[in-house]
Amino acid sequence: MLCQFTVKNFKSIRDEVTLDMQAAAISEHEDRVIIDRDEEKYLPVSAVYGPNGGGKSNVLAALNTLVAKVLRPLFATEDSDEKVLLQKRIIVEPFAFSKCKDEPTEFELFFRTDAAEYRYILHVKRDIVLYESLDRVKIETGRRSALFTRDESGIVLKGAFAKLKVSDELSKTLTLLSYLGIAYKGNAVVRDVLSWFEYGINFLNYGNPIQELRMAVSTSEDVKLLMLDMIQEMDLNIVDFRVEKKESGGIDIFTKHRIDGVETEIDLFDESSGTQKLFGMLPFIAESLLTGTVLVVDELDAKIHPLLLRHIIMMFNDMSINRHKAQLIFTSHDLSTMNSEVFRRDEIWFVAKGNEENSMLYSLVEFKNEKGESVRKDAKFDKQYLEGKYGADPYLRKIIDWGKVNA
């Protein structure tokens, strides 16, 4: 699980912002939280809203950049389409409109595996690592231990890593965590940490055809059944689909429609762009629910029906369906789901630009109006958002006076 993510000085984000997946102590939808073995409570869903150009995508991009920075060296020699995106050189872009462009970008990540909770900190200037540390708390015992620190004075390995050795020629662009994954992949703690980075979190970007077709449809029967359930929510008359592997290594996908009792098979690329997009997205949704991973999606609402969007959110919120502690983090413009029936207040986040073009991130549960009053749990969230009461107004501040234009 993702517990908390903090970033500073990244693209439009100048000051420190934190996306917190810990459930707030509020009395709403208390049955819709993930309760871990130690009774700690976490959110299954977080939705980030804000105007175009406000920086909401950069919050997710920062998390993606951190994960890719760690994983890229591990897959540098692999040729599969699944890993090709991680093989590109990672250049971290700082905030451009102040002296911050000469300062490092700072990441802090808290995440959980079955065995432990980890805190990973990374400070990077462009592609040079300036500071790095990893700490662990065992969930079973609560025992805390530092695992390593790395700064300008050198590297110190501690606890479970105390007996490991690090090359004196460690590249300044290579994270120590990546190095340990290459040199000590058999170490249980290294494997536990990096398995979360590789398998515990997944990013879906509709603009990337390689990623969309990565496993455009899984051959897993469980994933297929869950996909068909979601497809039927759309009332597309698709009753089944099949995947045909090509000799070239690619795949063909065929959908089966039933209309007036007659079944017809159609190539996926003859379907509408919306249906094609569904088949690029739904395997990730289903896999996340079935394996308990974190799924991060930019603009989840793009090209899918609001009813399906609601259905997907509610599947993650329903602990009888989401039995493996899966989490969904996404950006959206869709207001049909921004209400107290779908979300807890701590699951709704806003991004807004400050006066100096810097993006600010805050949750609805922590928002207070000019009188210092919090948002009521039964408030009309969508209506108040459109009225600009939450500070992330998606609409133009001034409307053209057409009478003056034609005068």
Amino acid found at 142: G
Q: Evaluate whether 337 touches 309 at the Cβ level (below 8 Å).
A: yes
Q: Where are the domains of the chain?
A: 2-206+293-386, 215-283
pLDDT at 403: 55
Residue 18 sits at φ, ψ, to 5 deg, of -130, 125
pLDDT at 331: 95
Q: How far apart are CA 172 and CA 175, in angstroms?
A: 8
| pTM of this structure | 0.90
Q: Among 281, 156, 141, 305, which Cα is nearest to 208's?
A: 281
Helix/strand/coil (H/E/C) assignment for every residue in the chain: CEEEEEEECECCECCCEEEECECCCCCCCHHHCEECCCCCEECCEEEEECCCCCCHHHHHHHHHHHHHHHHHHHHCCCCCHHHHHHHCCCCCCCCCCCHHHHCCEEEEEEEECCCEEEEEEEEEECCEEEEEEEEEEECCCCCEEEEEEEECCEEEECHHHCCCCCCCCCCCCCCHHHHHHHHCCCCHHHHHHHHHHHHHEEEECCCCHHHHCCCCCCCCHHHHHHHHHHHHHCCCCEEEEEEEECCCCCEEEEEEEEECCEEEEEEHHHCCHHHHHHHHHHHHHHHHHHHCCEEEECCCCCCCCHHHHHHHHHHHHCCCCCCCCCEEEEECCCCCCCCCCCCCHHHEEEEEECCCCCEEEEEHHHCECCCCCECCCCCCHHHHHHCCCCCCCCCCCCCCCHHHHCC
CATH architecture of 2-206+293-386: 3-Layer(aba) Sandwich (3.40)
pLDDT at 211: 44
Pairing of strands 2-8, 17-20: antiparallel
pLDDT at 218: 54
pLDDT at 77: 54
Q: How far apart are CA 190 and CA 44, in angstroms?
A: 26
348-353 sheet: strands from edge to edge: 201-204, 294-297, 327-331, 45-49, 348-353, 359-363
Helix/strand/coil (H/E/C) assignment for every residue in 18-35: EEECECCCCCCCHHHCEE
Running along the chain, 407 residues long, what does each successive block of 10 average in pLDDT?
A: 97 96 95 96 97 92 96 73 53 85 94 97 96 96 96 96 94 96 95 97 66 52 85 82 79 87 91 81 90 94 83 95 97 93 97 88 90 89 88 53 53
Q: How far apart are CA 304 and CA 244, in angstroms?
A: 25
Tokens of 263: 């079944």
